[in-house]
Structure 1
């Protein structure tokens, strides 16, 4: 039964609320260790306790948070590409299982990068004014890697590539599309800020992750489709150029063959003329 008008609109809204909340809950359930230690560190309200939880989070994230986030992006991909009525549980856990190894390896890579950035940032921050400028560079690098992380999840669930190619392409897309990257970062930052500061974490539990994943993949898919269109146009132009060159070469060959035929005919006529002259003599 399909509702129309206002009832149809309300039904669609309630359906999307259900979808987003179910996937967000699955994401949090599969990442319980990470969220548990993060919550404990935030509740302690002491800087030392929060710092003590960071190594634990760095160890647990590649094995729990990253695969769960990949599974959430796999469902978001289905929604963005038009498959809205996919079974949520089956699609989520299929994405979790199929992409677990690559998401884990990618998670280890990104965690190591963020750890290196953090160590260098605090090191140069304590130095003199001349070296303190380098801390700003590490902040910029952090922003780039954060955006690349969103693209990493989108590429992982959308394209079949080796993990090294996925990481490389996620960074290249981030740097190669600065406007889209900035829009992605700002919009996701706004979503996270609203979810963390409003409704006493209600939005965090039920909507934050799924909304961020859906928007991130939508932004990636839009950019990826544009790149594919441009590449297809370039290939068509290249094929047209090759066809024109081939046609020109064929025309040159035809002209050469006609010229050689004319030369042969002239030679035959000259031979006939010489023979006639000999006969007359």
Structure 2
């Protein structure tokens, strides 16, 4: 009986922790007027989830979230600005392609479809790479895309899992304020950590410069 109650208590505790960090994400996103708050709040959320997945379950959530939010505010927003520009170019290209006809339209559409797929693959790995490695802004984009391509089977599984979560949340919108961002973050971070372990296992004695592992020293 005590064992069962202990497990139930642990489950309830984790439900509360997940809801709490999701609410923090919403709060800090709004605090930055969404436009300037989304990126640092998301980086903070991924940092917390990363620590939990690395068995640091007693991490002080509020202090860590606030510290990362302030520390990564400028750098993460710069990265977000680059992503917005890239998305804008994709939309402009789509508008341009709609004005074409025949084979030329088909060729450019296929090319744009490939570019769009690479863009979304990059987004899937971007935040896990950001919180796990200490790189330059441009390297986050490059390495996120490479990770997604090199682990294409895992990328498809992650995309399907995240899509399923989104579908369930839309079916039960009452859970969105409490578990929307954190549930998707957990899936993306889990896939990212799996990819990182594979890389580090292959390169125990020799790590490439673009994948300098930051350990636990990158974020507090």
Asked if 1:207 is matched to 2:179, the reply is yes
Q: Distance in 2 between matches of 1:66 and 1:216?
A: 15
For residue 41 of structure 2, the aligned residue among 54, 63, 68 is: 68
Q: Distance in 2 between matches of 1:145 and 1:158?
A: 20
The equivalent of 1:92 in structure 2 is 65
Alpha-carbon distance, 1:148 to partner: 1.2
The equivalent of 2:25 in structure 1 is 27
Q: Aligned residue pairs: how many?
A: 206
Aligned-partner SS, 1:165: helix
| Cα contact 1:121–1:139 (8 A) shared by 2 | no
Alignment of 1:65-214 (within 5 A): 65-133=38-106, 134-196=108-170, 198-199=171-172, 201-214=173-186
Structure with the bigger RCO (C-alpha within 8 Å, sep 6+) is 2
Alignment of 1:237-248 (within 5 A): none
Q: Distance in 2 between matches of 1:9 and 1:151?
A: 32
CA 1:4–1:95: 2 relative to 1, 3 Å: farther
| Cα contact 1:30–1:68 (8 A) shared by 2 | yes
Give the unaligned 5+ runs of structure 2.
208-220
Aligned-partner SS, 2:135: coil
Give the unaligned 5+ runs of structure 1.
37-59, 236-281
Higher CA-based Rg: 1
State the 4+ residue runs in structure 1 displaced beyond 6 angstroms: none
Q: Distance in 2 between matches of 1:6 and 1:141?
A: 51
Q: Distance in 2 between matches of 1:79 and 1:21?
A: 14
The equivalent of 2:211 in structure 1 is none
Deviations 1:157-190 (A, max 9, x none): 1112221222221121122221122112221111
Alpha-carbon distance, 1:233 to partner: 7.2
Asked if 1:222 is matched to 2:220, the reply is no
Q: Distance in 2 between matches of 1:139 and 1:117?
A: 9
Q: Distance in 2 between matches of 1:162 and 1:21?
A: 32
Q: Distance in 2 between matches of 1:139 and 1:203?
A: 33
CA 1:169–1:4: 2 relative to 1, 3 Å: farther
Q: Report which stretch shifted further, 178-187 or 104-113.
A: 178-187
Alpha-carbon distance, 1:234 to partner: 7.5
Taking only aligned residues, the RMSD between alpha carbons, in angstroms, comes to 2.2
Q: Distance in 1 between matches of 2:83 and 2:133?
A: 19
| Cα contact 1:148–1:174 (8 A) shared by 2 | yes
| Cα contact 1:24–1:206 (8 A) shared by 2 | yes
Q: Distance in 1 between matches of 2:105 and 2:45?
A: 39
